[in-house]
Amino acid sequence: MLERDELVWAIPKGRVLAQLLPLFERAGLDTAPLTVKSRKLIRRAAGCRFLLLKPDDVPTYVEYGAADVGVVGRDVLLEREYDLYMPVDLGIGCCRLAVAGLVDAAYPPPPGRTLRVATKYPNVARRFFASRGLPAEIIFVQGSVELAPLTGLSDVIVDIVETGETLRQNGLKVFEAVAEVTSVVVANRVGLKLKRARIAPFLNALRGAEGAAP
Amino acid sequence: MPPSPTLPLAPPSGMDDHLPDETRARASVVARVLDLFGRFGYERVITPAFEHADVLERGLEIDRRDLLRFVEPESGEVALLRPDITPQIARIIATRLRDRPAPWRLSYHGTVLRQRQRTGRARTARQRTQLGVEHVGTASREADAEVIELAIEACRIAGLDRFRIELGHVGVPRAALSGLPEPIRSAAADALARKDVAELEGRLDVAGLDGEPRRVLLALAELYGEPDVVHRARRVLTDAGSRAALDEIEAVHDTLGERGHGERLQVDLGDLRGHAYYTGVSFSVLAEGPGEPLGAGGRYDRLLGRFGMPAPATGFALDLEHLIWALQHASTGWEPRPPPRVVAVDVRAPILDTLRTGGVQVATLPEADAQEALAFARAWRYDAVLVAGGFERVSDGARLQSPLPADGELIALTRWLRHEE
């Protein structure tokens, strides 16, 4: 009785969307509006609305309640401390955050100089090396992180590794895993409670479908 | 010294001003809620903006990185801008009001300050306004129910209709977590707090935890919703601690149900918010709008002991900014109608006195002509301009030739100013 009728989903554009569609279909969500070629950022479907967002922005929209539920990778959630529920792990978008560097580099580094780390995930990297008791200089870069050790900007990188192909082609290798990453359903703290009757069936269906994707 | 040109004039990030229209609306909500608290016997107190850190921190369960500390120059001690008012109330009761007979019922209205980490969540507000009560000295469920009912009535008197109260009890997750080995426990508690079942399972796998404790923890992540989850929970939670906690939730639920609030209630048995602080039934106020609870409260029977006067206690605080956000979201015409407002140009003092005595807000414009007065009235949202010849209504230019309203005519004037004639 208290619920607004429409459920608002924050959907990440890009890599994970293709893996997400079959799960959504199996959970009974109308995904047709998500596959239409269009530049519209809001797509309407029966009983819900999809917001198409840059993956990093999904938790922000859900935390503020601008969306009730969303799908996002754990890497984004690890980097910033969002206040969200994460009721379903979808088992898609699997990859890991890892420390990587030049194939012939010494790791852990010999003592004597502060380790330089280039990364898009400064907080994850800072926490990881702090937990190892390794002093590290964290260098924030926006992209093409692999370039950093090749050019001498940093000794190692902390980045997402999916197949390892990009690393191989650039003469880098993984030294150590930092965290396993999958895509999860996130829910607003209040939205999940006030719209429980509408959200719960989808969560249960998605839970049944999890990991079923290729 | 003139202000440095490199410093912006705007307040530091996370701090904000409230301009007249907004302040009027806020003040009206505050006045109605504080008045309500008073009618339940909660007496208002005012506490200092900062105190010695070691005093306040006894009663806090806030991430330490969120605290705004500084060295107080006079004593050289570390001081803390208050991030919460409850520990101050506890200090007052345990010291200055200690000799009064129980129960202590106090209310407060004030700002709290917290640092927001750059690495933290998206929200960055640092100054929040809280409206709250504390009820100290009553261990029985009547106090829990009274405080929750007061939270419900406070939201209603503010003008909110669509909101729910979510009940929890820290005893339930605490009992379930107590069986875990120490290194796993806090990680499992974090995962449970986020209802992150996959992460929780992973942690339990690492700990090699099987059987009953595992089943209970995983169930807790799903035990939320309508109050009937308490019945479902009884089939899963069989230990004495959990059963006692469920009994307490049920008792509070039933008391509130008898008072006609049953429809508003829901339950989350996996809620861990404030778990180091609360000791019994806790609750949150949920409404659409800000995306966060409007307020929260619950039983905290161990806090007063930290100030040297062990006593049972319960209370809650509403976040005024969130409450107003929810009111605006519901847009139910919650904003109070301001008194009639008039700009006066060249009007004799006795007339101004009559109007002001009658409750009309009158601002004089000594140096303006009628045209300027109208522009002023429009910008500052006055209802009408009064010149010697009579009133001109700002909204539609209508005129009323009644320069000196007699007592009985003030009501007619007010109705005219508000288009109610």
* Chain B interface, Cβ < 8 Å to A: 117, 119-123, 162-164, 166, 194-199, 221, 224-226, 263, 266, 268, 286-293
- Domain assignment present for A154: yes
Q: Which two tokens stand for residue B139?
A: 């261990």
Q: Please tell me the distance from the alpha carbon of residue A189 to that of residue A65, in angstroms, as a whole number.
A: 8
Please indicate, yes or no, whether residues A88 and A106 belong to a single structural domain of this protein.
no
Q: Indicate whether A123 belongs to any domain.
A: yes
Q: Are residues A58 and A108 in the same domain?
A: no
Q: What does the pLDDT average to over A77-95?
A: 93
CA distance B327 to A5: 19
Q: Residues A137-164: pLDDT tens digits?
A: 999 999 999 999 999 999 999 999 999 9
The mean pLDDT value for A198-214 works out to: 75
- Has residue A145 been placed in a domain? yes
A3 band by pLDDT with thresholds 50, 70 and 90? very low
Give the pLDDT of residue B13.
81
Q: What is the pLDDT of residue A214?
A: 38
Mean pLDDT of A177-205: 94
Digit-coded pLDDT (tens) for B211-258: 888 999 999 999 999 999 999 999 999 999 999 999 999 999 999 999
Q: Is A94 on the interface with B (CB under 8 A)?
A: no
Residue A50 lies in a domain: yes
| Predicted pLDDT of residue A61 | 94
pLDDT for the residue A11: 96
Q: Which of B87, B13, B16 is nearest to B55 (CA)?
A: B87
For residue B191, which amino acid is it? A
Residue B406 to chain A, least CA–CA distance (Å)? 49
- pLDDT at res. B84: 92
Shared-domain flag, residues A133 and A143:
yes
Total domain count, chain A: 2
The answer to whether the beta carbons of residues A84 and A62 sit under 8 Å apart is yes
Residue A148: inside a domain, yes or no?
Answer: yes
Across all residues in chain A, what is the average pLDDT? 91
Average pLDDT over residues A118-126: 96
Residue pair A96/A180 in contact by the 8 Å Cβ criterion = yes
HSE at residue A93, side-chain half, CA atoms within 13 A, is 26
Distances (CA, A) of A43 to A34, A69, A70, B213, B391: 7, 15, 14, 43, 52
Q: Quick one: tokens of B70?
A: 């500084």
* pLDDT at res. B407: 57
Residue A107 at interface with chain B, using a CB cutoff of 8 Å:
no
Residue A123 sits in the same domain as residue A160: yes
Segments of chain B scoring below 50 in pLDDT = 119-120
- Within 13 A of A118's CA, how many CA atoms are on the CB side? 19
Q: Of B195, B257, B200, which Cα lies nearest the Cα of B226?
A: B257
The ipTM, to two decimals, is: 0.89
Does residue A101 sit at the B interface (CB-CB below 8 Å)?
no
Judge whether B86 and B118 are in contact, CB under 8 Å.
Answer: no
Tell me which residue range forms the domain holding A200: 7-93+182-208
Q: How many CB pairs under 8 A join A and B?
A: 86
Pick B44 or A111 by higher pLDDT: B44
Same domain, A22 and A84: yes
DSSP secondary structure code for residue B334 in this structure: -
Please indicate, yes or no, whether residues A15 and A70 belong to a single structural domain of this protein: yes
Whether A42 and A146 map to the same domain: the answer is: no
Q: What is the CATH number of the domain that holds A106?
A: 3.40.190.10
Query: First vs last Cα of chain B: how many Å apart?
Result: 56
Instruction: State yes or no: cis peptide before B103, omega within 30 of 0.
Output: yes
Taking the C-alpha atoms of residue B58 and residue B51, their distance in angstroms, rounded to an integer, is: 12
Q: How far is CA A202 from the centre of its chain?
A: 20
Query: Residue B67's Cα: distance from chain center in Å?
Result: 19
**Both tokens assigned to B146:** 């009274």
Q: Quick check: helix, strand or coil at residue B194?
A: coil
pTM: 0.90
Q: Is B127 left (phi over 0), alpha (psi -120 to 50) or beta?
A: beta
B223, B153, B274, B103 alpha-carbon torsion, rounded to 10°: -120
Interface contact B290-A65, CB threshold 8 A: yes
Domain assignment of residue A213, yes or no: no
Q: How many residues does chain B have?
A: 421
